[in-house]
C-alpha cells in the first residue's frame, strides 16, 4: 500500500529503490506517528471533518496500534511503503472507510516532519539525562581528587602543575556548554509543522494551535513553506549538538588512552574493564575509550554529511531528504551508548598519587619559582630569565607547593559555580510540557 497509489503499479525495481530503508527506519518513528495522528484527528473533529463517533473509533484503533508498538509486535508489512501507510492500512482494515479519513488535511510531508521532530525531541531529552549522569560523576571525581597534582602539558611537553580535580572538572564544564548547544537543537525541534501539508497549507480550516498544544510543542512553525524547509535543517542542528557532546567524549577518551600508557601511568582501571593481547600477556588495553573516540569522530562527520545532502536544494520537498533518516536515527543511540559506557568506566577509575614527585617532572614548577621571584619584587621578565638560566645550568630547584587561588585554578576549582551553570541550562528545557503528548494514548 502507498498513500499516493493510483490506478497503475510502479515497477518493483523503482519501488524498492525509492522506499530504500524506510521500513526499517520508520519503526523508530512509529509511536510518534500514532501520537501525531491522535492529535490530528482530535483537531479534525473540532472543525467538523470527523464525527464524535468516528473520532472515538479512530482513537481506539490508534491506541491499539500504539500498544502493539510498545509490545514490539508492530511491523511494516512487505508491500507497504512506510509507517504512515501501515498505520492507515491497519485502521482501514479494522474500521473500513473511517480509516481513510485520517489523512484529511495532511500530507506525508508534514506527517514525517511531525514524527521526526517528536522523535528528536524525545531523544534529546534522553541524551540530556545521560549527560547529567556523567556531569554529576565528573564533579564528584573532581572534588574527590582535588588535592592530587597532575602534570599539565602543552605541545606534548611537560608544562605546569595541574590536578585531577582540575582535569575532571574541565570535562564537567565542557558538558555544560554542550548541553547549551543541545538545548538550542531541542527548541528548534520543539516547533509544530503539522498543518503545513505539502508545504503550502490547505483549504481546510485547520486549528494548528490545537495540535501544537496537544503534542506539547512550545510553538508553531508558522510559515508553511518554512515548516517544510525545517526538514533536514532540524536533523542537521541536532546532529551538530550530538557532535559537540561527542567532541568532549573524544578528547576525554584521548586523555585517558594517553594517561593509561606506561610512559605516563597517571591512571588505570581494574583489569576487568580492559582488554588483552593475543600474544602479549602484559597488556591492559583501553579498547573502550578507543572505540568511544572512534565513534565520536564518526559522529563529528554527521552534520557535514547532512549539510551536503541539503546543499543546493531549493525550497519544497525533495526525496533526497529521505536519506537523512538513515544516519540521524542511529546517531542518537550511538551517543547514548558512549555516554553510558564512559560513565560506567569512570565510576571505577583509579588515579595515581605522588605523580609530580618524579624527578622528570620537576620543571613543571618553573613558573611557580618565577612567580615567587615576582612576588618578592623582581620584574616578571627578569625572573623568567633568571630561572631559565638556572635550568640551563642544572641549578634549578623546584618549589613544589602550589598556591593557586583564583577562580577555576587548582586551589579554587569553582565546582559549585559550574554546577550552577549546569542547573541554569537544565532549567531552560521544558520537558514537562513535552510529556503532555502521552496523554493522547492514555
**pLDDT value at position 18?**
64
- Please choose, from the candidates 153, 149, 156, 158, the residue with its C-alpha nearest in 3D space to the C-alpha of residue 404: 149
H/E stretch holding 234 reads helix 224-260
**pLDDT value at position 4?**
43
User: What is d(CA 286, CA 349) in angstroms, rounded to the nearest whole number?
Assistant: 12
Instruction: Report the Cα 372 to chain-centroid distance in Å.
Output: 46
Rounded to 10°, the helix 302-310/287-300 angle is: 20
Asked whether the CA dihedral 76, 327, 333, 233 is positive or negative, the reply is negative
H/E stretch holding 350 reads strand 350-351
**pLDDT value at position 202?**
93
Backbone angles phi, psi at 242, to 5 degrees: -60, -45
User: What is d(CA 226, CA 316) in angstroms, rounded to the nearest whole number?
Assistant: 9
- The pLDDT tens digits for 415-426 are 999 999 999 999
Ranges in the chain, pLDDT < 50: 1, 4
The Cβ of residue 277 has, within 10 Å, a number of other Cβ atoms equal to 10
- Please choose, from the candidates 428, 401, 412, the residue with its C-alpha nearest in 3D space to the C-alpha of residue 149: 401
What is the three-state SS of 138-191?
HHHHHHHCCCCEEEEEECCEEEEEEEHHHHHHHHHHHHHHHHHHHHHHHHHHCE
> Per 3-state DSSP, what percentage of the chain is helix, strand, and coil (rounded to 5)?
65, 5, 30
- CB-based contacts of 120-124 (< 8 A; 24+ apart in sequence): 120/185, 120/189, 120/234, 120/235, 120/238, 120/328, 121/186, 121/189, 121/190, 121/434, 122/32, 122/434, 123/238, 123/332, 124/182, 124/185, 124/186, 124/189, 124/238, 124/241
Domains of the chain: 12-103 (1.10.275.10), 108-149+163-357+412-441 (1.20.200.10), 359-392 (no CATH)
The Cβ of residue 308 has, within 10 Å, a number of other Cβ atoms equal to 9
Q: Look at residue 9 and give its three-state secondary structure.
A: coil
In contact, 88 and 100? CB cutoff 8 Å: yes
The pTM of the full predicted model, rounded to 2 decimals, is 0.92
- Please choose, from the candidates 247, 350, 237, the residue with its C-alpha nearest in 3D space to the C-alpha of residue 292: 247
User: What is d(CA 222, CA 196) in angstroms, rounded to the nearest whole number?
Assistant: 8
User: What is d(CA 103, CA 2) in angstroms, rounded to the nearest whole number?
Assistant: 13
Amino acid at each position: 500500500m502507498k498513500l499516493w497509489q493510483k490506478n497503475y503499479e510502479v515497477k518493483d525495481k523503482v519501488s524498492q529503490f525509492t522506499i530504500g530503508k524506510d521500513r526499517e527506519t520508520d519503526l523508530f518513528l512509529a509511536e510518534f506517528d500514532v501520537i501525531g495522528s491522535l492529535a490530528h484527528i482530535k483537531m479534525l473533529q473540532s472543525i467538523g471533518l470527523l464525527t464524535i463517533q468516528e473520532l472515538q473509533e479512530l482513537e481506539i484503533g490508534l491506541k491499539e496500534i500504539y500498544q502493539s508498538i510498545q509490545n514490539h509486535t508492530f511491523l511494516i508489512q512487505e508491500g507497504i511503503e512506510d509507517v504512515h501507510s501501515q498505520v492507515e492500512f491497519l485502521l482501514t482494515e479494522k474500521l473500513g472507510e473511517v480509516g481513510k479519513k485520517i489523512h484529511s488535511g495532511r500530507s506525508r510531508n508534514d506527517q514525517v516532519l511531525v514524527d521526526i521532530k517528536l522523535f528528536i525531541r524525545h531523544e534529546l531529552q534522553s541524551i540530556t539525562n545521560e549527560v547529567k549522569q556523567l556531569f554529576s560523576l565528573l564533579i564528584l571525581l573532581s572534588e574527590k581528587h582535588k588535592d592530587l597534582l597532575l602534570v599539565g602539558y602543552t605541545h606534548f611537553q611537560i608544562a605546569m602543575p595541574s590536578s585531577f580535580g582540575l582535569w575532571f572538572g574541565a570535562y564537567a564544564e565542557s558538558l555544560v556548554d554542550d548541553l547549551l548547544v543541545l538545548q538550542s537543537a531541542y527548541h528548534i525541534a520543539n516547533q509544530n509543522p503539522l498543518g503545513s501539508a505539502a508545504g503550502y497549507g490547505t483549504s481546510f480550516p485547520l486549528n494548528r494551535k490545537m495540535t501544537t498544544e496537544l503534542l506539547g510543542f512550545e510553538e508553531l512553525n508558522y510559515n508553511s513553506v518554512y515548516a517544510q524547509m525545517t526538514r533536514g535543517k532540524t536533523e542537521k542542528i541536532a546532529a551538530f549538538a550530538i557532535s559537540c557532546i561527542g567532541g568532549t567524549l573524544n578528547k576525554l577518551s584521548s586523555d585517558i588512552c594517553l594517561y593509561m600508557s606506561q610512559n605516563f601511568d597517571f591512571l588505570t582501571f581494574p583489569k576487568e574493564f580492559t582488554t588483552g593481547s593475543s600474544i602479549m600477556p602484559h597488556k591492559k588495553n583501553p579498547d573502550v575509550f578507543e572505540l568511544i573516540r572512534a565513534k565520536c569522530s564518526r559522529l563529528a562527520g554527521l552534520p557535514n554529511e547532512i549539510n551536503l545532502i541539503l546543499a543546493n536544494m531549493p525550497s519544497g520537498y525533495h526525496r533526497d531528504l529521505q536519506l537523512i533518516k538513515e544516519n540521524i536515527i542511529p546517531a542518537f543511540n550511538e551517543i547514548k551508548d558512549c555516554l553510558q559506557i564512559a560513565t560506567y568506566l569512570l565510576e571505577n577509575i583509579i588515579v595515581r598519587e605522588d605523580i609530580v614527585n618524579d624527578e622528570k617532572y620537576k620543571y613543571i614548577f618553573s613558573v611557580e619559582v618565577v612567580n615567587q621571584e615576582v612576588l618578592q619584587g623582581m620584574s616578571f621578565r627578569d625572573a623568567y630569565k633568571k630561572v631559565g638560566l638556572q635550568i640551563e645550568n642544572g641549578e634549578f630547584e623546584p618549589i613544589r607547593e602550589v598556591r593557586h587561588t583564583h577562580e577555576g585554578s587548582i586551589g579554587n576549582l569553582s565546582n559549585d559555580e559550574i554546577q550552577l551553570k549546569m542547573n541554569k541550562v537544565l532549567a531552560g528545557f521544558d520537558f514537562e510540557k513535552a510529556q503532555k503528548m502521552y496523554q493522547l494514548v492514555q
